Amino acid sequence: MKKKKINLRDLEPKKQQGEHSHDDGHNHSSPEEISNFRTYLPAIFSFVMLIAGIAIDYFDAFPFFKGWIRVVWYTVAYIPVGFPVIREGWKSLIKGDVFTEFFLMSIATIGAFIIGEYPEGVAVMLFYAVGELFQNAAVNRAKGNIKALLDVRPKEANVFRDGDYVSVSPEAVNIGEKIQIRVGEKIPLDGILLSEKASLNTAALTGESKPDSIQKEAKVYAGSINLESVIEVEVTNKFEDSSIARILDLVQNATARKSKTELFIRQFARIYTPIVVFLAIGVTFIPYFFVDDYVFRDWLYRALIFLVISCPCALVISIPLGYFGGLGAASKNGILFKGASFLDAMTKINTLVMDKTGTVTKGVFKIKEVKAIGWNETEFMQYLMALEEQSTHPIAKAILEYKAEGEDFEAQDVSEIAGKGLKGVVNGKTVLVGNKALMTANNINVPSETESIVESIVLVAIDNQFAGYVVIADELKEDAKETITALHKVGIKNIMMLSGDKDSITQQVAKELNIENAKGGLLPEDKLNEVEILKKNPENKIAFIGDGINDAPVLAASNVGIAMGGLGSDVAIETADVIIQTDQPSKVVRAIKISRSTRKIVWQNIILAFGVKVIVLILGAGGLATMWEAVFADVGVALLAILNAVRLQKMKWD
């Protein structure tokens, strides 16, 4: 059965040409308030007319309120809420789609008028319209996070042209041009930071409220807010290719990929609705052959109740809304699902395979240990850093991050020994910095304890005497350990680490994280083979977490592919099913919890809708339920289901 939104706004005056839409990103409070009032005006009018009519009927206040006057009164009350429904039913009928909820509501309420149940006919349509308004409000609430993202889209860019900065549309800026972003402004396009440093608020992109401090030549992304000083950025992507544009497109189109539950309910409704219509016809006429005191009006009334109850509104409204709420809640937490189907798939995951570098480690070298022998540590590091200042190697950069007190030492006569290290003179002393081969070549004895160190190690000798060493390692992410613990708590017992790094390092990281199964020294195709082996067991439902760059084959082969830090990665956007916008592995646990909460609410709504409907259907066919019970079974259950689905927007998954 097709679910199409009732458009009570059709009763409003048409927009004049050039008038702003209220969803165009502009903030016009007064027109928006007027629009909201106009939206509710038909329902308010019908409600006032209905209550007044019922009061007059009940108290018999006006003797003339009978006959055609009473009919006209309730007809006027019916039209504002009933006309849009009847029109939609007629449009669907012309297209060949007969068994829509609009058709059912129209037949049921018009039938109520025919048998003289005017207040009930108006009430059914009024409550249905109110249900639609609640639905729209719930959908708008669920879309709140996406609207926040839409608001992040910058409206202008200050680009450097002809010796001055001019304000233009972001779409008009070309790759390679320089743009300026003032304090408090949004970065309009992806680029490279030209200024020395910047502090950015990336909350709308990553879900993280903590400002991000970056240095010159670091990547910046459209939608981030500049916090401290005026900065300049060189544009690297056109506006339509920017991270914010791709994320918006991804989130807005996520609902297009329906979950199996959602597809099943819609297919079920197409079969269920015509069956109920024919059963209602049967309820009207079949008793004529079996009941002695058959009264057509009574059985028609039961059939109309049957029709009202039969509308699967609660299902076709609340189930998509439940998934939409889950998608919105996830994106609010910096997690992008490419569709509702992956929310479902995530709930079934029992095996998690993860990459190491960039997933549970930061992917950058850091000093892990400094061991000075016969020297003060600070002085030892000053000698080492004096030589490393002459190198551009990543290990040298890590060493230079060490904060040594006192004046910096200067190195002279520095030379690089290919494949071994550096040699130079510092404070009149000859200093050697490099690997064991360099020490051996200069007849310097190295302590045996260095043999057992699996990480990268820098050996130092001063005046032909071994002076110590520095251990350099890839640093674990702050939340890596708690992620593994939390995964075990949510029932993911089978966790495996696959890495292209040395097996010894991979095993050490796995041991630190309490991961029992780990393999290192793997090429991308080796990782794929490992996942394929796991897939041979049909009970394994596998999620793979990688950085989205060299893990594309494994991301695609898994039941759910999860890309870490996919904000700037084309491969992650294209290949992964779920994208963690930050580099926090703990967000994977949150994604699992959000998925499970979503599925739980969806099934609560299904059970609620079916349970109440079956009970009231039986009561209605037996003449024990009135049109008012029918209204509750239809609109009331739909409202309860909607309110239940909206809970997703308020939940916390810490």
Tell me the pLDDT tens digit for each residue of 48-65.
999 999 899 888 878 888
Task: Name the token pair of 382.
Answer: 């000053």
CA distance 73 to 51: 11
Q: What is the mean pLDDT of the chain?
A: 81
Q: What is the mean pLDDT of residues 614-634?
A: 76
- Residue 485: the pLDDT is 94
Q: What is the mean pLDDT of residues 139-145?
A: 56
Return the CA Rg of the chain: 34
Q: Which residue has the higher pLDDT, 199 or 626?
A: 199
CA distance 543 to 541: 7
CA distance 94 to 407: 86
Q: Which residue has the higher pLDDT, 150 or 455?
A: 455
Q: pLDDT band for position 642 (50/70/90)?
A: confident
Tell me the pLDDT tens digit for each residue of 81-90.
999 989 988 9
Outline where 490-585 has alpha helix (H): 503-513, 524-535, 552-557, 570-575
575 and 338 Cβ atoms separated by less than 8 Å = no
CA distance 198 to 189: 15
CA distance 74 to 48: 11
334 and 625 Cβ atoms separated by less than 8 Å = no
* Top mean-pLDDT range of 142-151, 557-566, 570-579: 557-566
Which range (200-204, 248-252, 342-346) has the least confidence? 248-252
Outline where 253-290 has alpha helix (H): 260-285
CA distance 60 to 82: 26
Would the pLDDT of 145 be above 60? no
Phi, psi of 159 (to 5 degrees): -105, 140
- Residue 555: the pLDDT is 84
Would the pLDDT of 498 be above 80? yes
Nearest alpha-carbon partner for 374 in 365, 385, 383: 383
Would the pLDDT of 267 be above 90? no
CA distance 191 to 222: 8
Would the pLDDT of 149 be above 50? no
Tell me the pLDDT tens digit for each residue of 542-563.
999 987 556 778 888 899 989 8
- Residue 15: the pLDDT is 35
Strands (E), 191-341: 191-193, 197-201, 212-215, 219-220, 225-226, 231-235, 335-337
Q: Which residue has the higher pLDDT, 514 or 319?
A: 514
Phi, psi of 204 (to 5 degrees): -70, -25
Q: pLDDT band for position 5 (50/70/90)?
A: very low
CA distance 530 to 336: 26
Q: Which residue has the higher pLDDT, 242 or 195?
A: 195
CA distance 602 to 322: 6
Q: What is the mean pLDDT of residues 260-271?
A: 66
Nearest alpha-carbon partner for 576 in 621, 545, 539: 545
Element (H or E) spanning 467, and its range? Answer: strand 465-476
Whole-angstrom CA distances from 471 to 175, 372, 453, 455 are 41, 11, 8, 7
Q: How many CA atoms lie within 13 A of 460 on its CB side?
A: 28
- Residue 611: the pLDDT is 85
Tell me the pLDDT tens digit for each residue of 356-369.
877 888 877 788 89
Tell me the pLDDT tens digit for each residue of 294-348.
999 888 888 887 777 776 666 666 777 788 788 878 888 888 888 788 888 999 9
Tell me the pLDDT tens digit for each residue of 76-127.
999 999 999 899 889 888 888 777 777 777 887 888 788 788 888 888 788 7
Nearest alpha-carbon partner for 309 in 287, 283, 286: 283
Would the pLDDT of 23 be above 90? no
Would the pLDDT of 501 be above 70? yes
CA distance 242 to 221: 7
411 and 423 Cβ atoms separated by less than 8 Å = no
Task: Name the token pair of 247.
Answer: 């994320």
Q: What is the mean pLDDT of residues 190-209?
A: 79
Percent of the chain residues past pLDDT 70, beyond the cut: 82
- Residue 567: the pLDDT is 57
- Residue 242: the pLDDT is 78
Q: pLDDT band for position 178 (50/70/90)?
A: very high
Active site (catalytic) residues: 355
Element (H or E) spanning 613, and its range? Answer: helix 586-621
Q: What is the mean pLDDT of residues 596-624?
A: 84
| pTM assigned to the model | 0.67
Nearest alpha-carbon partner for 221 in 149, 327, 315: 149
- Residue 29 CA, chain-centre distance (Å), reads 28
Handedness of CA 107, 110, 116, 121 (dihedral sign): positive
Would the pLDDT of 264 be above 70? no
Would the pLDDT of 538 be above 70? yes
Handedness of CA 560, 566, 567, 571 (dihedral sign): negative
CA distance 332 to 152: 13
Q: Are strands 560-564 and 542-546 parallel, antiparallel or unpaired?
A: parallel
Element (H or E) spanning 82, and its range? Answer: helix 67-94
175 and 235 Cβ atoms separated by less than 8 Å = yes
- Residue 572: the pLDDT is 58
Would the pLDDT of 247 be above 50? yes
- Residue 259: the pLDDT is 60
Would the pLDDT of 25 be above 60? no
Q: Which residue has the higher pLDDT, 621 or 2?
A: 621
Q: Which residue has the higher pLDDT, 195 or 96?
A: 195
Tell me the pLDDT tens digit for each residue of 464-497.
999 999 998 888 888 999 999 999 999 998 999 9
Whole-angstrom CA distances from 315 to 254, 335, 382, 606 are 20, 26, 70, 6
Outline where 143-259 has alpha helix (H): 144-152, 203-206, 243-252
Beta-carbon contacts of residue 508 (< 8 Å; ≥ 6 apart)? 454, 455
CA distance 288 to 5: 38
Q: Which residue has the higher pLDDT, 268 or 384?
A: 384
Q: Which residue has the higher pLDDT, 37 or 90?
A: 90
Q: Which residue has the higher pLDDT, 207 or 536?
A: 536
Residue 435 neighbours by CB distance under 10 Å: 16
Phi, psi of 12 (to 5 degrees): -80, 160
168 and 222 Cβ atoms separated by less than 8 Å = no
Q: pLDDT band for position 173 (50/70/90)?
A: very high
- Residue 304: the pLDDT is 81
Tell me the pLDDT tens digit for each residue of 409-459.
899 999 988 778 899 999 999 999 999 989 999 999 999 888 888 888 999
